Amino acid sequence: MKLFLDWSSYENAGMGDAYADIPKHGADYAKAVAVCIGSKQCEQTGKGVMCPSYRISGNPVLSPGGRVKLLKSALNADDEQAFLNPSPALEEAMALCVSCKGCRRECENEVDMALIKAEFLAQQVAQHGLSLRRRLWGELPKILCWPIVRPLLLLRNRLGWVVRLLEAGLGISAKIRLPVPARQPFRYGSSAKDAVSVGPVDKQVVLFVDTFNHYFNPAAAEAAQKLLEAGGYQVHIARPLADDEPNRPLCCGRTYFSNGQLDKARHEAQRLLKALKVHIKAGRSIVGLEPSCILSLRDEYLKLGLGEPAKNLAEKVVLLEEFIVREQTAKRWTLAFQALPDVSRLLLHGHCHQKAVGAIKSVRKLLKQVPGLDFELIEASCCGMAGNFGVEAEHVEHAQAMAELALFPALRAEPEALLVSNGFSCQQQIQNGGFALPLHLSQVLCMALPSQE
């Protein structure tokens, strides 16, 4: 079996361990599957993220451990096609994995089911081809460049017959309102300001505006730029190179990665790496806003066979909240926040990937610095949207059940509280649940900047 991701970090996984019943097919991929020791930690409820599909069903087959058993069975079969042509049980179990990365953090052996699923999907696409819906999800970074997309989405959300037609034809749920791009996407501004570096490199930063914030929530990117500049940093905006689709924003490739199109994900990664090469060489930090996109640069890129450039990027890229807290620790960020006008209570919903890398600690540390602000982190697992998962007709009920575990009840209990959530998918799930659209942390901290008067 040809593997599409680099699994060499698992080369020695399980060597000498009695539990390491490594499947006979799948090479190092099989070893990544076999790191599971069957402790059933993934079948716990309460605090934590892992495992959303198990939590809503109580079905052990839909936990990481259950998926491992099914994967092992397929990889151990005499017929190598058992993995490439999965059983209905394996197919369903993998489809209901929302790639939250909860197991990567909360499992004692760090089973990385999100990455295991990415390889599984790539194998299925290679074997059976790409469905029109998966192609549509994957190509979103290019589709969103088309000016006609906004009016088409407005039309879709307004006309019931179009909604029903898309559900029947593509499996896009009629129960969900699709997000509509902002009237004006993020504006890069003049590149001349970026061209000349001013001051020491540790007071320069590169802002990477991902596809979703670029088109759907430019206010968050604008707020981040204003915030960083107020903190005394020269902000370079990550831009595409002049000879590489200069009119299309840089993209991490996450939509391709999540839909089994790893070659296209690799192409997007290479495009981004080329554009950031000069900044990485100069030693500037790369700061981003969307957890799933930014953490792809630290995690998935290392599995795409991109060599040293990917490793160098992984060492320099941080989420906005991580950057500010790090700079405060280094005494380079001296700006103090002021009280938020007319805001006393705030509810914070963390993106699964933020939780997976511990970045929520940085968010909480920053919110504690806002005078008079009473805030609470909602103890919830995945919101259920998980990229395109929550808008697919066959998954929408699962997605809603995940939101109803803890997130939606917490929001109903405090309807007047300000909502904060950095993840684009989380924001859409919350808004589709009938709640106010959450703000990004960058917008909240921008509101807390000292008065210019």
Q: What is the pLDDT of residue 48?
A: 87
Q: What is the pLDDT of residue 196?
A: 66
For residues 414-438, give the mean pLDDT: 97
Q: What's the CA gap between 243 and 258, in Å, rounded?
A: 27
Q: What is the pLDDT of residue 190?
A: 66
Q: Which of 9-23, 114-128, 231-245 has the lowest mean pLDDT?
A: 9-23
For residues 182-202, give the mean pLDDT: 79
User: What SS3 string covers the chain?
Assistant: CCCCCCCHHHCCCCCCCCCCCCCCCCHHHHHHHHCCCCCCHHHCCCCCCCCHHHHHHCCHHHCHHHHHHHHHHHHHCCCCHHHHCCCHHHHHHHHCCCCCCHHHHHCCCCCCHHHHHHHHHHHHHHHHCCCHHHHHHHCHHHHCCCCCHHHHHHHHHHCHHHHHHHHHHHCECCCCCCCCCCCCCCCCCCCHHHHCCCCCHHHEEEEECCHHHHHCCHHHHHHHHHHHHHCCCEEEECCCCCCCCCCCCCCCCHHHHCCCCHHHHHHHHHHHHHHHHHHHHHCCEEEECCHHHHHHHHCHHHHCCCCHHHHHHHHHEEEHHHHHHHHHHCCCCCCCCCCCCCCCEEEECCCHHHHHHCCHHHHHHHHCCCCCCEEEECCCCCCCCCCCHHHECCCHHHHHHHHHHCHHHHHHHCCCCEEECCCHHHHHHHHHCCCCCCECHHHHHHHCCCCCC
Highest mean pLDDT among 17-21, 79-83, 159-163: 159-163
Q: What's the CA gap between 250 and 270, in Å, rounded?
A: 10
For residues 395-400, give the mean pLDDT: 98
Tell me whether residue 19 is exposed, middle or buried, using C-beta atoms within 10 angstroms of its C-beta: 0 to 12, 13 to 18, 19 or more.
Answer: exposed
pLDDT of 17 higher than 70? no
pLDDT of 303 higher than 60? yes
Cis peptide before 426 (omega within 30 of 0): no
For residues 56-78, give the mean pLDDT: 96
pLDDT of 41 higher than 80? yes
User: Quick one: tokens of 167?
Assistant: 């559900």
Q: Are 88 and 49 in contact (CB under 8 A)?
A: no
pLDDT of 216 higher than 90? yes
Confidence of residue 452 (pLDDT cuts 50, 70, 90): low
For residues 44-70, give the mean pLDDT: 94
Q: What's the CA gap between 425 and 404, in Å, rounded?
A: 16
- Give Cα separations from 347 to 79, 295, 322, 332, 412 (angstroms): 51, 23, 19, 29, 11
Q: Are 343 and 373 in contact (CB under 8 A)?
A: yes
Rg of the Cα atoms in the chain: 22
Q: What is the pLDDT of residue 421?
A: 97
Ramachandran angles phi, psi of 64, nearest 5°: -55, -40
Give the chain's mean pLDDT: 94
Q: Which of 274, 376, 284, 360 is nearest to 325 (CA)?
A: 360
For residues 289-301, give the mean pLDDT: 95
Angle at 429 between CA 348 and CA 95, to 5 degrees: 115
Beta bridge partners of 139: none
Tell me what percent of the residues of the chain surpass a pLDDT of 70.
96
- Give Cα separations from 416 to 181, 202, 403, 423, 430 (angstroms): 26, 40, 19, 21, 14
Give the contacts of 297 (CB within 8 A, at least 6 positions apart): 252, 272, 286, 288, 313, 314, 317
Angle at 146 between CA 142 and CA 147, to 5 degrees: 155
Q: What is the pLDDT of residue 198?
A: 72
Q: Which of 241-245, 362-366, 399-403 has the lowest mean pLDDT?
A: 241-245
For residues 163-190, give the mean pLDDT: 94
How far does CA 153 lie from the centroid of its chain? 23
Tens of pLDDT, residue by residue over 84-140, are 999 999 999 999 999 999 999 999 999 999 999 999 999 999 999 999 999 999 999
pLDDT of 250 higher than 90? yes
Q: What is the pLDDT of residue 453?
A: 43
The pTM of the full predicted model, rounded to 2 decimals, is 0.94
